[in-house]
Amino acid sequence: MSVFQTYEQNNAAYASDFDKGALPMPPAKHVAIVTCMDARVEPASQLGINLGDAHVIRNAGGRAQDAVRNLVISQRLLGTREILVFHHTDCGMQTFKTEQLRGIVKDAAPGDSAVVNAVDKFDSFLEFTDVEGSVTEDVVFLKNHPLILAETTVTGWVYDVKTGKISRVV
Amino acid sequence: MSVFQTYEQNNAAYASDFDKGALPMPPAKHVAIVTCMDARVEPASQLGINLGDAHVIRNAGGRAQDAVRNLVISQRLLGTREILVFHHTDCGMQTFKTEQLRGIVKDAAPGDSAVVNAVDKFDSFLEFTDVEGSVTEDVVFLKNHPLILAETTVTGWVYDVKTGKISRVV
């Protein structure tokens, strides 16, 4: 059984007593969260986000550099004015270097030029070593970015996957 | 009070009885979800995802084109082999064209060449008109992408924000 069949069954139960169908499109709290795709990260419960309150952007590492398109849409079309950047402990982004990942991909498809060309298009997979350093870097990136509105409140945080606790870095 | 203060308080309550600190990094169900950042989307509860089970990638629209870096890391380093792509009804991506959004950004900063240059770097903000069409497009994109493993199960879905129900498109 593919996992999608489990999720389809779970969703039928969720939808059976769904009563939030009238929520508007813009986030009620005018906030956007940028965080990691990691399976141990679950922003709604870990931060107590109510449905309809916040944009949640998730990518490998929770990297702001990879979230600009999303934040422009969030701010300019849907009115968010606060951004929280979360990275987390024990992140997969601390386990490799771009050059190693390129090697893994190429070694799995020897002589396949389409694969080589596609993976070489990524200058960086945005890995990092120090989680507090990467959060700080991303907050500085957003505060200095010409497309992020100057009046935005931007804070940077680390989520600890062992304790469930967040702590503010910047 | 900034929203982050509310989330900091909420997290203290969450962490006070946290007991999932031993979960491993790779997703237990070997699955990655690609879905929208929309505030009315909340994959964990809507699909019944347990903590530790799935990578969750979220961007404006849930566009696969914007998720390749994440999926390469998810598949090659953390072992996922199934991808579910979700778009949803009443999406912000159906409300604008890239050219209009560029105009909004430029009009807000008249004569600012840094802003003009930054926004012109985006060939497209990946908007769409038809939600079933965009999901199908994204599934085809992933199935044909040289960096997505050939053995991957890829399905495409629409989440209905009025009813809470998902339905499979492809």
pLDDT in tens, A131-163: 999 999 999 999 999 999 999 999 999 999 999
Q: Which of A32, A68, A82, A70 is nearest to A146 (CA)?
A: A68
Q: Which residue of A has its CA nearest to B124?
A: A69
Taking residue A77's Cβ as centre, other Cβ atoms within 10 Å add up to 20
- The mean pLDDT of B151-163, rounded to a whole number, is 98
Contacts of B125 in chain A (CB under 8 A): 69, 72-73
What CATH number does the domain containing A41 carry? 3.40.1050.10
Distance CA A13, CA B47 (A): 9
- Three-state secondary structure call for residue B65: helix
Distance CA B23, CA A68 (A): 31
Task: Quote the minimal CA–CA distance from B75 to chain A in Å.
Answer: 10
Query: For residues A152 and A82, is the Cβ–Cβ distance under 8 A?
Result: yes
pLDDT-above-90 percentage for chain A: 99
Q: Residues 4..33 of B with a Cβ closer than 8 Å to A: which? A: 4, 6-15, 18, 20-23, 25-32
Q: Is residue B46 part of a domain?
A: yes
Query: For residues A48 and B13, is the Cβ–Cβ distance under 8 A?
Result: yes
The answer to ipTM > 0.95 is: yes
Q: Please calculate the CA angle B39-B40-B46 and round it to the nearest 5 degrees.
A: 125
User: What are the CA-CA distances from residue B70 to residues A23, A41, A62, A152, B166 (Å)?
Assistant: 30, 15, 10, 26, 23
In tens, the pLDDT along A80-114 reads: 999 999 999 999 999 999 999 999 999 999 999 99
A18, exposed or middle or buried, with CB in 10 Å at 0-12, 13-18, 19+?
middle
Task: Enumerate residues 6+ apart whose C-beta is below 8 A from B21.
Answer: A161, A162, A163, A164
Size of interface A-B (CB pairs under 8 A): 263
- Phi, psi (deg, nearest 5) at residue A34: -115, 120
* Number of domains making up chain A: 1
Q: Which of A161, A155, A92 is nearest to A128 (CA)?
A: A92
Q: Which two tokens stand for residue B75?
A: 């598949």
Q: Is residue B53 part of a domain?
A: yes
DSSP-assigned letters across all residues of A85-104 = EEEESS-GGGS--HHHHHHH
Distance CA A76, CA B26 (A): 36
For residue B61, pLDDT over 90 is answered with yes
Q: Which of B10, B44, B15 is nearest to B29 (CA)?
A: B44
The answer to whether A79 faces chain B, any CB pair under 8 Å, is no
Q: Is residue B73 part of a domain?
A: yes
Q: Is residue A97 part of a domain?
A: no
Q: Is residue A44 part of a domain?
A: yes
CB contact under 8 A, A76 and B37: no
The answer to whether A117 faces chain B, any CB pair under 8 Å, is yes
Query: For residues A86 and A31, is the Cβ–Cβ distance under 8 A?
Result: no
Contacts of A72 in chain B (CB under 8 A): 101, 105, 119, 122, 125
Domain of residue B161 covers 3-91+128-168
Which residue shows structure tokens 């935005």?
A152
Q: Which two tokens stand for residue A47?
A: 């931060």
Distance CA A37, CA B25 (A): 11
Contacts of A15 in chain B (CB under 8 A): 163-166
The answer to whether B62 faces chain A, any CB pair under 8 Å, is no
Q: Is residue A157 part of a domain?
A: yes
Contacts of A155 in chain B (CB under 8 A): 2, 4
Q: Is residue A114 part of a domain?
A: no
Residue A30: pLDDT band (50, 70, 90) is very high
Distance between alpha carbon B136 and the CA centroid of its chain, in Å? 15
Q: Is residue B118 part of a domain?
A: no
Indicate the DSSP class of residue B31. Answer: E
Query: For residues A66 and A139, is the Cβ–Cβ distance under 8 A?
Result: no
pLDDT for position B163: 98
Distance CA A72, CA A149 (A): 9
- The mean pLDDT of A69-87, rounded to a whole number, is 98
The mean pLDDT of chain B is 98
The mean pLDDT of chain A is 98
In tens, the pLDDT along B67-82 reads: 999 999 999 999 999 9
Which residue shows structure tokens 């979800």?
B33
Length of chain A: 170
Q: Which two tokens stand for residue A5?
A: 């069949």
